[in-house]
Structure 1
Amino acid sequence: MRTVGLIVEYNPFHNGHLYHLRRSVAVTQADAVVAVMSGNFLQRGEPALAGKRARTEMAMRGGCDLVIELPVSYATHAAEWFAYGAVSMLDATGVVDALCFGSESGEIAALRRIAAVAAHEPAVLKERLAERLRRGQSYPAAYSAALRDCFEAAGDAEAAAFPLEQPNNTLGLHYLIALERLGSPIEPFTIRREKAGYNERTVTDGAIASATALRKLLNEQRHPETIAPYVPASTLAILEREWRAGRAPLGWHAFAGKLFHMLVRADAVELASCRDVGEGLEHRIKQCLPLLPSLDFEQLVDAVKTKRYTRTRLQRAFLSILLGLRKEEALPALLEDGLRYIRVLGFNDKGQALLKRMRDCAKLPVLLGAARPPARFRQLELDAAASAVYALGYDAPAPRDIASDFYEPPVRI
């Protein structure tokens, strides 16, 4: 059974995702789809619109056969480690033959050449990167420019001109770098992203809109029916159910009070111990707090944001504070060797057949049950704690919601 792997957030699963999933199956000639999906908190430092079980069901109704969870330490990290964790997870299943990701370019040849160089971090790349960082550029911009410098010097005009600053191209590059570093046999493919850009906040098409634009519509109109033209009927039904239950739509507004409690309680030293908090950010946060017009998350981000501290970086920093993600647990050496298990979020009959194959070929233990995590699975403890925090954002959380990772079995369709 030929299997394609997808790296997803599905926040929420929409018509553009459905197009990508179907095209991925066609392009790779796959018989089955494995998705590695972020849990309740996402790569840009945001809470998910709906919880991971609801989004797993959206994914499976849309055509995924097996959904596994990307641990929160990777799911909420910058592109390099988000990609490394996700690709490592797909590689560890032992059943994934191809990886297909969306990109603005839709071209993979130049991207693979760039990845082959970037994966080995040559001295010239490190030098150019350090130089641009000293000039005050943000890390993503400095990294893209440093790679461009390297390929211009090597005379590869196509690679030098490749638009790495576009977000899906950037993620695609890091997926390819991860494949290179892992020596994975998974074959990469890419599909051009159509009609709606990753961060596009307005709707410009009658059937396809970005997840960012859809969340904006939901926050403005406050009813799931608002996005009906842009999502499959199954997504709309699941979202309506979660909405009625008070489990959606979640965002930073649902956690602002808890975050401000932690910000005023912790001193600067404690804040600085959290992942993504550094270079004086802890002091800037403390200085800005009493100057805010109100205790509003958006006002906090606007007050703290600078050229150095971008919105995405700040959201990841605040998320690390909210979830208690510490620097010492996010060291590169630990992240490189940090995966210890494969946590299954959902499967159908075809996914069950994949799980049977994984008994013999998976590189890591496959977790289906709802038992307390073994002590050696620190990442699983962090995931369970993140799920507990997420449940506190519900309208009326129940004690069982807080311990859902220990009680709820995988979604079965």
Structure 2
Amino acid sequence: MRTVGLIVEYNPFHNGHQYHLRESVKIAKADAVVAVMSGHFLQRGEPAVMDKWARTEAALRGGCDLVLELPVAYATQAAEWFAYGAVSTLEATGVVDAFCFGTESGELEVLHEAAKLVAHEPPAFQSLLKEAMENGSSYPSAYSSAIASYLASIGRSDAADFPFAQPNHTLGLHYLIALERIGGRMLPYTIRREKSEYGQTTVTDSAIASATAIRKLLLEGGELEASKPLVPAGTFAVMQKEWSSGRSPVSWANFVQQLLHAVVTHTPEQLAGYREMTEGLEHRLLQALPKLNHTGFEPLIDALKTKRYTRTKLQRSLLSILLRHKKEDFTAEKLAAGVQYIRVLGFTSKGQQLLRRMKKEAKLPVLLSAARAPIESVYLELDTQASAVYMLAQPGHESAAAMYRDFTDRPIIIG
């Protein structure tokens, strides 16, 4: 059974995702689809609009056969480590033959060649990256600039003009860099993103919209019905169930009290010990709180934002405080050691066949429940803690047992 892997957040699974899934199956000539999906907290430092079990059900109804969880240690990282964790997870299954990601251009060759050239960061590239950072650029901008300069310096001026800084190109490049670094055997493919741009906040097509635009409809307008033309029927059915139960939608607004409690019970030195808290951000945060007219999340972000502190940077920083993610647990050396297990969130009958193969071929332990983990893992502990934090803030729960769903819930099974 030829299998294609997808790296996703599905927040929520929409028509554009279904297009990507179907085109990935075609281009890879695949019989089955494995998705590695972020759990309750996402790459841009924000909570998912629905919990990971609801999003797993939507993914399975949308065409995925096996959904695996990307550990929160990688899911909430910038592109380099997000990609490394996701690609490592797919490779470790032993059953994924290829993986496919969306890009603005749909061009793979330049990205793949650039990845091979910079994957192990030659000294000349490191020097260009350091120079760009010292000139005040954010890391993503500095990285893209350094790649272009490095390619030009080695006579690849044709590739140097490629728009590496575009969000999906950046992620795609890091997927390919990760593949090089781990010596992966999977074949990479890319398809062009259609009709809506990454992060686009408005709906400009009758059927295709970005996840950002759909979340804006759901969170600001509160109209679930408005999203119906933009998501598959299976997703909409899941959303109806989650909305009617009161469990969704979830946003940063649900976590403000937890976050503020964490901030005010820490000293500046303690805050500085959390991941992404850099360049004195702990002082800016503590100085901003007394000046807020409202204890909402958006006023806090507005008070903290600068040219250097982007919204994504700030969200990741605040999330590290909320989840107590200390810098010492997220060093490059520890992250480079890779994922420690493969956590199964759900599967179809075809996915069950893949799981049988994985029992023989996977390079890591395969977990169907955190309660039955055959290993002790800091990353698994962080995952279960993140779930508990999410469940405490998720509306619609009266029982404390919801905090322990990682230990009590079995994978979602469809078909």
Q: TM-score normalized by structure 2? A: 0.98
Alignment correspondent of 1:393:
393
Partner-residue secondary structure (3-state), 1:100: strand
Structural mapping, 1:62-101, within 5 Å: 62-101=62-101
Work out whether residues 203 and 209 of structure 1, in 8 Å CA contact, stay in contact via their aligned partners in 2: yes
Alignment correspondent of 1:135:
135
Residue 364 of structure 1 and its aligned partner are, at CA, apart by 0.2
Residue 153 of structure 1 and its aligned partner are, at CA, apart by 1.5
Alignment correspondent of 2:409:
408
Q: 1:260 to 1:272 in 2, by over 3 A?
A: same
Matched letter for residue 240 of structure 1: Q
Residue 244 of structure 1 and its aligned partner are, at CA, apart by 1.3
For 2:156 and 2:340, locate their aligned partners in 1 and report how far apart those are by CA, in whole Å: 39
Q: CA RMSD in A?
A: 1.0
Q: 1:338 to 1:187 in 2, by over 3 A?
A: closer
Structural mapping, 1:94-113, within 5 Å: 94-113=94-113
Residue 212 of structure 1 and its aligned partner are, at CA, apart by 0.2
Work out whether residues 209 and 230 of structure 1, in 8 Å CA contact, stay in contact via their aligned partners in 2: yes
Partner-residue secondary structure (3-state), 1:409: coil
For 1:395 and 1:359, locate their aligned partners in 2 and report how far apart those are by CA, in whole Å: 37
Matched letter for residue 171 of structure 1: L
> In the alignment, does 2:228 pair up with 1:235?
no
Residue 375 of structure 1 and its aligned partner are, at CA, apart by 6.1
For 2:110 and 2:338, locate their aligned partners in 1 and report how far apart those are by CA, in whole Å: 30
Deviations 1:218-277 (A, max 9, x none): 112213111001000111110111111121110101101111111111111111111111
Structural mapping, 1:358-397, within 5 Å: 358-371=358-371, 373=373, 376-397=376-397
For 1:184 and 1:85, locate their aligned partners in 2 and report how far apart those are by CA, in whole Å: 13
Partner-residue secondary structure (3-state), 1:255: helix
5+ long unaligned stretches in structure 2: none
Residue 338 of structure 1 and its aligned partner are, at CA, apart by 3.7
Q: 1:375 to 1:27 in 2, by over 3 A?
A: closer
Matched letter for residue 120 of structure 2: H
For 1:299 and 1:331, locate their aligned partners in 2 and report how far apart those are by CA, in whole Å: 31
For 1:388 and 1:226, locate their aligned partners in 2 and report how far apart those are by CA, in whole Å: 31
Alignment correspondent of 2:332:
332
Partner-residue secondary structure (3-state), 2:313: helix
Residue 342 of structure 1 and its aligned partner are, at CA, apart by 0.5
For 2:285 and 2:192, locate their aligned partners in 1 and report how far apart those are by CA, in whole Å: 39
- Structure 1 segments (4+ residues) deviating >3 Å: 372-375
Alignment correspondent of 1:279:
279
Matched letter for residue 175 of structure 1: Y
Residue 155 of structure 1 and its aligned partner are, at CA, apart by 2.2
Structural mapping, 1:4-403, within 5 Å: 4-371=4-371, 373=373, 376-397=376-397, 398-403=399-404
Residue 307 of structure 1 and its aligned partner are, at CA, apart by 1.8
Residue 289 of structure 1 and its aligned partner are, at CA, apart by 1.1
Work out whether residues 49 and 249 of structure 2, in 8 Å CA contact, stay in contact via their aligned partners in 1: yes
Work out whether residues 369 and 406 of structure 2, in 8 Å CA contact, stay in contact via their aligned partners in 1: no
Work out whether residues 370 and 409 of structure 1, in 8 Å CA contact, stay in contact via their aligned partners in 2: no
Residue 167 of structure 1 and its aligned partner are, at CA, apart by 0.6
Partner-residue secondary structure (3-state), 2:354: helix
For 1:116 and 1:370, locate their aligned partners in 2 and report how far apart those are by CA, in whole Å: 36
How many residues are paired up?
Answer: 413
Work out whether residues 49 and 215 of structure 1, in 8 Å CA contact, stay in contact via their aligned partners in 2: yes
Q: TM-score normalized by structure 1? A: 0.98
Partner-residue secondary structure (3-state), 1:63: coil
Partner-residue secondary structure (3-state), 1:371: helix
Deviations 1:33-54 (A, max 9, x none): 0000000000000000000000
